[in-house]
Amino acid sequence: MKRSRFGLGMLRRLHAVLLDSVRGRDKTPGEFRRTRVWIGATGTPIEAARFIPPLPARLPGLLANLEKYWRGASSRSTSG
């Protein structure tokens, strides 16, 4: 069996599979978000949000850093 490296492509594929046939399937399964979001009770304004993730414009750089970290962690775990 071919071993795949975990990266952003696989993350997008997993996202698409997880959203298939559930709430959110009409959004953009398999794609990184393009709109601002926040976590809070239904109807909560952003000012009262419990958590505000990074803006969509920052995602490419942040996700690239995450992928570099994964790759570094993977090489460290197989080299010892």
Burial of 46 (0-12, 13-18, 19+ CB in 10 A): exposed
Q: Please state, in angstroms and rounded to a whole number, the distance separating the CA atoms of residues 8 and 14.
A: 10
Per-domain residue ranges for the chain? 8-78
pLDDT tens-place string over residues 17-64: 998 888 877 788 899 999 999 999 999 999 999 999 999 999 999 999
- Tell me the per-residue pLDDT of 66-77, one tens digit each, with 9 for 90 and over: 999 988 875 665
DSSP 30: T
Q: What is the pTM of this model?
A: 0.71
